[in-house]
Amino acid sequence: MSNITVLGIGRLGLGLSLLIEKAGYNVMGIDINEEYVKQLNNKTFKSKEPEYENLLINSKNFRASLNLEEGLEYSDIIFIMVQTPNSGGNKFYDHSIVSNLLQKINEKKVENKHIIIGCTLMPKYIDEVGSFLLSDCKNTTLSYNPEFIAQGEIIKGFLNPDMILIGTNSHDLEEILREIYSKIVKTNPKYCIISPLEAEITKITINGFITTKLSFANMISDVCDTIGANKDKVLDSIGSDSRIGNKYFRPGYSFGGPCFPRDTRALALFVDQNNINNELLLSTSKYNKLHSDFLTQKLLHENKEEYLIENVCYKEDSKIPIIEESAKLQIAKKLVQHGKKVTIKDEIQIINEVKKEYGNMFNYIIV
C-alpha cells in the first residue's frame, strides 16, 4: 500500500496530502479547480499556511488531478476532505458536497476500497446516508477520521495530536491508518478506535466541551475585572487543578472560530433532536457573545474618540485570512455603533477580508 488518494485538497486536504507524501507514500490529490491543480503541479502555489510552500516544493511523489476516476483507480485508500459548510437549519452541516461525491463514486461501482471521510459530519450521517449512497460498491468500507486542527496551524496540528480518532468497523483500515499516522506524527497519541457513529458524536463533543471551558474562563475573567482581582493569577490557579488543566483556560476575546462555535451549535442541535436538554451548550454560546459586550463596555469607559484594533483574524496572531467569528471585529463594530472611530491594523490579506464584509465602516492600516 504505497498509493493514497485524497479527494478535496483545500487547506486541510492539501496539508494531509503533503504530510502523507513526506512520510513516504505516493499521493494523488483530486480537486475541481483547474488553475489550482496547475499551480500545485508546477509548484507555484502560494499559501500563508505555515510549511505548505516548503512541503510542496520538496515533494517528489505528490500530484494533483481534476479526474475523479483517475483518483479512484490510483489507490484503495481514499480520503475525502471536501467542505461541509454550516447551512443552519435542522441539518446544520451541509452534507451536499460529500454526498454528491459519494454518489459519483457509487456510479463507478468501485470495489475493495476503504473510503475515509475527514470533514465534519453530523452524527448518524455515515450509518443512515453515506453507507447507503455507496450501496453499489462491493467490499467497500466508509469510515470517519476527523481532524482537530486550527487554520493557521494545520501542519503543527497534524504533527502533534493528543489523539487520533478513527470511526470504523474495519480492523484492516484501523491497522492501515495506524501505520500512516505513525509515520507522520511527532507525538505518541492515543488511538481511539470506535464506530463511525461514536466518532461523529466524539468530534463535535470535544469542541463543544472546549468552548464551554473557554466560556467559563471568560466569565470568571469578567468577574475578576469587575472587582479588581488579577484574572490571570486566578485562572492560572484554577487550571493548576489537574481535573481542570491550564490549557485553553485563560482570558481571551472569545472562544474563536470557525470550528468551535459551529461544532458547539451543531452539538446543541443534535442533543435537542434526541430529546436531551441542551441549555448548557446554549449558555456557552450565549456567554461568548456577552463577553464581547463586556469587553466593548470596558473600551467605551476609556472614552476615546478613536480606537486602534490589531490582529483581527478569528485566531490571535494568525496570518490566515479568515475573519469568521472574530470577536475583535464584533467589538470594533459595536464601538462604531456607539459613535466611535475605529482603525483596523493588520496584514493586507486580512484587511481585504474585512473590507469585503464591513466596507468603509472602519479606517484601515496595512502592516
Q: What is the DSSP string of 284-319?
A: HHHHHHHHHHHHHHHHHHT--SEEEEE--SSSTT--
Amino acid found at 154: I
Give the orientation angle of helix 259-273 with respect to helix 196-227, to 10 degrees. 120
Contact predicate 21/61, CB 8 Å: yes
Distance CA 190, CA 366 (A): 43
Question: Which candidate, 344, 348, 347, places its Cα nearest to that of 364?
Answer: 344
Which pLDDT score is estimated for 125? 95
Task: Count Cβ atoms below 10 Å from residue 314 Cβ, excluding itself.
Answer: 25
Contact predicate 92/20, CB 8 Å: no
Q: Provide φ and ψ at 274, rounded to 5°.
A: -105, 25
Secondary structure class of 7 (helix, strand, coil): strand
Start-end of H helices in 64-189: 68-74, 96-107, 125, 131-133, 154-159, 171-182
Which pLDDT score is estimated for 89? 62
Distance CA 322, CA 260 (A): 14
Question: Which candidate, 307, 71, 264, 78, places its Cα nearest to that of 173?
Answer: 78
Question: Which candidate, 192, 162, 187, 166, places its Cα nearest to that of 177?
Answer: 166
H/E stretch holding 221 reads: helix 196-227
Which pLDDT score is estimated for 90? 65
Per-residue pLDDT of the chain (367 residues; tens, 9 = 90+): 599 999 999 989 999 999 999 999 999 999 999 999 999 999 999 998 999 999 999 999 999 999 999 999 999 999 999 988 876 666 678 899 999 999 999 999 999 999 999 999 999 999 999 999 999 999 999 999 998 888 888 999 999 999 999 999 999 999 999 999 999 999 999 999 999 999 999 999 999 999 999 999 999 999 999 999 999 999 999 999 999 999 989 998 888 777 888 899 999 999 999 999 999 999 999 999 999 999 999 999 999 989 999 999 887 777 888 888 899 999 999 999 999 999 999 999 999 999 999 999 999 999 8
Task: Count Cβ atoms below 10 Å from residue 30 Cβ, excluding itself.
Answer: 27
pTM for this one? 0.91
Task: Please calculate the CA angle 352-353-356 and round it to the nearest 5 degrees.
Answer: 90
Tell me the three cell numbers of residue 89: 437549519
Contact predicate 89/126, CB 8 Å: no
